[in-house]
Chains A and B, each alone.
Chain A
Amino acid sequence: MNRLSILKYDLVSIALYIVLVSFGIINIYSSSFNGSSMSLFDLSSIVGKQVIFFFLSLVVFIFILFTRNKFFDNSASIVYFLSIILLLGLFVFGVERGGARSWYALGPISFQPSELAKFGTALFLSKFLSIIQTDLKRNRDILIVLIIIVVPIILTTIQPDPGSALIFLAFIFPVIREGLNLNYFYFGLYIISTLILTLIFNFLVSIAILTIIFLTYLIYLRNKKIKVSLLKYIFSFFILISSSFSTNYLFENVLEQRHRDRINLVLGKEIDTSGIGYNINQSKIALSNGGFFGTGFLEGTQTKGNFVPRQHTDFIFSTIGEEWGFIGTLITIVIFSFLIIRIITRADKQPNHFRRIYSYCFASLVFFHFFLNVGMSIGLIPSIGIPLPFISYGGSSLLIFSLMFFVYLNFDSSRLKES
């Protein structure tokens, strides 16, 4: 590797990656701080484990850099099917933690195969979509895409780890990017808004609102003299109403009370600070305690008191908010969105389909994690157990996200070298 070739790497992204992981380690240190100072290299401490996984990731980095990118192309299906087998194996060899069988345990180190499945699915989906013959206008190919995504979803859902399962929905973005009819997207959006509308208001009110919007839209089309297939629209209207109705039905009869509570809390229909709303409320308290400048490293009273459950994993953002203040959270959000957008724009320049779609898959995964995790921490999204990439404590998560990031770097640098 000559000096010039180093410059062919996305150095800005590498810098941001190191910033995020280091910042994560600082906050994990603080949130697991128990009064006495802890060694950064002690495998028995939480922060020590994270540091060791970071170094492990850097070792992986070296390997990935020297790997020819054709290797990933070839091994895509192997990684995917391996991760599916590992997911299946959980039912036999898995270790139950927090009510979910999502872990393999090897001595002090445990491993979460659903993390690998994210990488596997990204590779395999990119591989399938990059095949020349694949045409997303064909129902058969749409079905295959659906199967690739849905299989890990089902396997993680029944662990049960609904949070991880939800993450696979991120792959909708690369699929749309690669030519899925936008109507699918609109229709999905439609259903989701109906869902939220029905949850916020009741069934009858939301139907009334939907009817008004629908009729206004029809009149708008009439005035524009756009030909309308009335039958089609009546059909879709019917679907809307029935989805509203079924949301109502699902919410009341299928979801358990705890799920209903979580949703109602976010919608502001319930106020509860001691029971089910405890996590989010404590997270909000920690954030507001941080104020503009934050309380400072190791000075967060909420963090010290362990008020926010899972504060070194899923709720790490509350520690950032308390100890580093609005400045800290703002910078974190800016770095994430900058990184995501940077990956997307650089992916778009990729001449190679496989590498482009993979980079896009990776950006989507980072975004989805970021969106759900931060949204949950600040009380905009119901409580879901999802880590914040690069920052949350978790060996599997850090290792796989690093791996995916390095693969992106590899692809990106080969674009620069080829051009």
Chain B
Amino acid sequence: MIRKNLLIWITVISSVIFVIQLASLQLSGDSFDRDFAIQEISIYPERGLIFDRNGELLVANQPMYELIVIPENTVEFDTVQLSNLIGIEQNELSKRISSARKYSTKLPSVIQSQISKEKNAYLQEKIWLFDGFYLRKNSVRDYIRPFASNVIGYTGEVDQNDIISNPYYEKGEMIGKQGIESYYEDKLRGVKGKRYFQKDRFNRIIGPYNDSKKDIPPKKADNITLTIDIKLQEYAESLLKNKKGGIVAIEPSSGEVLTLVSAPTYQSNQFIGQNRSVNFQNLLNDTINKPLFDRALQAQYSPGSPMKILNALIGLQEGVIDESTTFTCNAGHYYARNAFMACHNKFGTISNLRKGIYNSCNTYFAKTYKMIIDKYDSPSLGLDSWSKHIKSFGLGDYLGYDLYIGKKGFIPESNYYNRFYGNNRWSASTTISNSIGQGEILTTPIQMANFASAIANRGFFYKPHFVKKINNQANISFEKNLTSIDKENFEVVINGMVDVVERGTARIAKIKNINIAGKTGTVENFILIEGEKKQLTDHSTFIAFAPAEDPKIVVSVFVENGYWGSRWAAPIASLIIEKYLTGNVERKWLESRMINGSLLAEYEKPYKFQNFTINE
């Protein structure tokens, strides 16, 4: 029987084994990598251009070159010569080649990316000596004007997180990493297309796959017009040279950001070319100057005296003061028993509201604040009402502008103090610093510019934003944010602000024939040195808008450790206003003092490990 049926049984058994193996190969679903046969090539649309508000081209694209290797095609070569040619370490070169080989011997790998035009021309002459290597053209950003880098941002190769969070991206592709490049990534990149090719086993393309029926054409990228005025931006950046701080200029009637300066800062071009990773590390490692930190958007400072303006408005709105209300200042006042708040006004100064503003009288606004709070049955109710008014100016929360970075700042509410002191075991006196913009309140320069904008508009603001048009279409409409202050309450306060420049603390900011409304600030600040809280030189700050009767521009300037608001911030704001409204600056002496003035010595003080004096 065995003899007779042996072959039958063997046939049946082999067939069954074959079918099992085939089922596991063909039905398991975990398919082998069959990308071998179809080559998918991405077609990238050219990245969108970026213009300033006047149509000046800021960001374009430039050709760059990549050194490619197909490991299979290489023959023995002089690694020393090649590494010298491309300018990388010899063992780094070997490392890259071996990782390329590990990836695939047949497929191209990038050995060095972002080789400049100039270097490419030089390399092209030599590269033929190295079989298997060639140069491939691609495109990278060209930041034509080296300004507003903190707004424009930069692009870079996608990292692992980008790939995981958005399946659109593949290894080696570019993505906006910061600023407008990042926020408007979807618009600027367009949508890549796909072409499919049938390959043969030698990895050669033998023609379109499926008659190109599956090909997807790329979608053109959008061009973006910024609200930034690049000439004003350039000028503002020059004014903040060798200083730390931020400048924000806004067109109040629209919320368009004209200028956003953070100093010190970086340049977008540092993220292009072969030194980009070295540059990035250097920027990242500079923990003293923090050039990657946008002070205009992210730095939360005490606002200082400009806060007095808001307190004046709230006082008027709540009816606790009117324009004729007067307070007496005795170079300060006792706001509680044994608690004295000093003021730079002389003993016995009697101020009405307008004078209180232009002389920046601490006493006047401390008393006003106290009345605002004490108007209500409990300090909690009073403070929450005050807080609501303040927040209606866009403080204490994100403004919602079209950049990803920013800070909320901080406007205290009753529950904050309740938690800190216990329920209602605090009063207006306890929180008196709020009246003069010190204490718990924190704001960013752009928030300061925004509330100045609301004052300039007499009661409303548009969300600050950075993009004017996308593809020449200004179809972005913004809602009007109303403040909780009635329109008629603004005039007297604005008159006080005009007087600040006319006869008050910021007379240096005066410009012929232009009425500027402003408010200086001199902000106390502290640092922890080896666990010890030390006071540093005051910050110099100034908010302003002009012309006061029909504001075209709002400026907020914040200069770290610049001492008086009138020393740095007010002149800088004034110069920016003059430049913007008249097109040129006549006060050359002031301009050169600002441009050439340096606070570097001031900034070094705390790092010298010795005692230092402040407010010199």
> Which A residues have a C-beta under 8 Å from some C-beta of B?
35, 173, 176-177, 179, 182, 185, 274, 281-282, 284-285, 287-292, 301-302, 304-309, 321, 325-326, 329-330, 333-334, 336-337, 340-341, 344-345, 348, 360, 363-364, 367, 371, 374-375, 378-380
> Which B residues have a C-beta under 8 Å from some C-beta of A?
2-4, 6-8, 10-12, 14-15, 17-19, 21-23, 25-29, 31-34, 36-38, 105-106, 198-201, 206-207, 209
Chain A residues whose C-beta falls within 8 Å of the C-beta of B8 in the assembled complex: 341, 344-345
Give the nearest-CB partner of B22 in chain A.
Answer: A329
Find the residue from B10, B18, B21 having the highest chain A CB count within 10 A.
B18
Give the nearest-CB partner of B104 in chain A.
Answer: A274
Chain B residues whose C-beta falls within 8 Å of the C-beta of A341 in the assembled complex: 8, 11-12
Chain A residues whose C-beta falls within 8 Å of the C-beta of B7 in the assembled complex: 173, 177, 340, 344, 360, 363-364, 367
Q: Are A326 and B21 in contact (CB under 8 A)?
A: no
Give the nearest-CB partner of B209 in chain A.
Answer: A301
Chain B residues whose C-beta falls within 8 Å of the C-beta of A340 in the assembled complex: 7, 11
A-B contact count (CB 8 A): 122
Find the residue from B11, B27, B207 having the highest chain A CB count within 10 A.
B11
Q: Are B36 and A330 in contact (CB under 8 A)?
A: no
Chain A residues whose C-beta falls within 8 Å of the C-beta of B31 in the assembled complex: 285, 288-289, 291
Chain B residues whose C-beta falls within 8 Å of the C-beta of A336 in the assembled complex: 15
Shortest beta-carbon distance from A351 to chain B in Å:
16
Chain A residues whose C-beta falls within 8 Å of the C-beta of B207 in the assembled complex: 35
Task: Give complex CA distance A336, B14 in Å.
Answer: 11
Q: Are B4 and A288 in contact (CB under 8 A)?
A: no
Shortest beta-carbon distance from B221 to chain A in Å:
32
Task: Give complex CA distance A173, B25 in Å.
Answer: 30
Task: Give complex CA distance A281, B37 in Å.
Answer: 13
Chain A residues whose C-beta falls within 8 Å of the C-beta of B3 in the assembled complex: 176-177, 179, 182
Chain A residues whose C-beta falls within 8 Å of the C-beta of B201 in the assembled complex: 282, 305-309
Give the nearest-CB partner of B6 in chain A.
Answer: A176
Chain B residues whose C-beta falls within 8 Å of the C-beta of A345 in the assembled complex: 8
Chain A residues whose C-beta falls within 8 Å of the C-beta of B21 in the assembled complex: 378-380
Identify B27's interface contact among A284, A292, A375, CB under 8 A: A292
Identify A285's interface contact among B2, B33, B199, CB under 8 A: B33
Task: Give complex CA distance A177, B31 in Å.
Answer: 43
Q: Are A301 and B18 in contact (CB under 8 A)?
A: no
Shortest beta-carbon distance from A311 to chain B in Å:
10
Chain A residues whose C-beta falls within 8 Å of the C-beta of B209 in the assembled complex: 301
Chain B residues whose C-beta falls within 8 Å of the C-beta of A321 in the assembled complex: 22, 25-26
Q: A309-B201, A337-B12, A344-B8 are in contact. Are A284 and B106 (CB under 8 A)?
A: no
Shortest beta-carbon distance from B195 to chain A in Å:
15
Give the nearest-CB partner of B10 in chain A.
Answer: A367
Chain B residues whose C-beta falls within 8 Å of the C-beta of A364 in the assembled complex: 7
Task: Give complex CA distance A325, B31 in Å.
Answer: 13
Identify A307's interface contact among B11, B17, B18, B200, CB under 8 A: B200
Chain A residues whose C-beta falls within 8 Å of the C-beta of B105 in the assembled complex: 274
Q: Are B32 and A288 in contact (CB under 8 A)?
A: yes
Q: Are A302 and B23 in contact (CB under 8 A)?
A: no
Q: Are B22 and A173 in contact (CB under 8 A)?
A: no
Given contacts A289-B37, A290-B26, A306-B200, 16 further A-B contacts (CB under 8 A): A173-B6, A177-B3, A177-B7, A288-B31, A288-B34, A301-B37, A301-B38, A301-B198, A305-B198, A309-B201, A325-B26, A333-B18, A337-B12, A379-B21, A380-B18, A380-B21
Task: Give complex CA distance A179, B38 in Å.
Answer: 55
Task: Give complex CA distance A185, B12 in Å.
Answer: 19
Chain A residues whose C-beta falls within 8 Å of the C-beta of B26 in the assembled complex: 287-288, 290-292, 321, 325-326, 329
Q: A288-B26, A321-B22 are in contact. Are A333 and B15 (CB under 8 A)?
A: yes
Identify B14's interface contact among A305, A308, A325, A375, CB under 8 A: A375
Give the nearest-CB partner of B2 in chain A.
Answer: A182
Shortest beta-carbon distance from A25 to chain B in Å:
22
Give the nearest-CB partner of B31 in chain A.
Answer: A288
Chain B residues whose C-beta falls within 8 Å of the C-beta of A380 in the assembled complex: 17-18, 21
Chain A residues whose C-beta falls within 8 Å of the C-beta of B34 in the assembled complex: 285, 288-289, 301-302
Task: Give complex CA distance A340, B38 in Å.
Answer: 39
Q: Can you spell out 9 A-B residue pairs with CB atoms less than 8 angstroms apart?
A: A177-B3, A177-B6, A274-B105, A289-B32, A289-B37, A321-B25, A330-B22, A341-B12, A367-B10
Chain A residues whose C-beta falls within 8 Å of the C-beta of B106 in the assembled complex: 274
Q: Are A287 and B22 in contact (CB under 8 A)?
A: yes
Q: Are B199 and A305 in contact (CB under 8 A)?
A: yes
Q: Are A333 and B19 in contact (CB under 8 A)?
A: yes
Identify A374's interface contact among B2, B6, B18, B33, CB under 8 A: B18
Task: Give complex CA distance A334, B15 in Å.
Answer: 8
Task: Give complex CA distance A305, B39 in Å.
Answer: 11
Give the nearest-CB partner of B196 in chain A.
Answer: A301
Chain B residues whose C-beta falls within 8 Å of the C-beta of A288 in the assembled complex: 25-26, 28, 31-32, 34
Task: Give complex CA distance A285, B30 in Å.
Answer: 11
Identify A326's interface contact among B23, B33, B200, CB under 8 A: B23
Shortest beta-carbon distance from B101 to chain A in Å:
11
Q: Are B25 and A302 in contact (CB under 8 A)?
A: no
Give the nearest-CB partner of A330 in chain B.
Answer: B19
Q: Are B14 and A326 in contact (CB under 8 A)?
A: no
Task: Give complex CA distance A179, B6 in Å.
Answer: 12
Q: Are A375 and B200 in contact (CB under 8 A)?
A: no
Q: Are A337 and B198 in contact (CB under 8 A)?
A: no
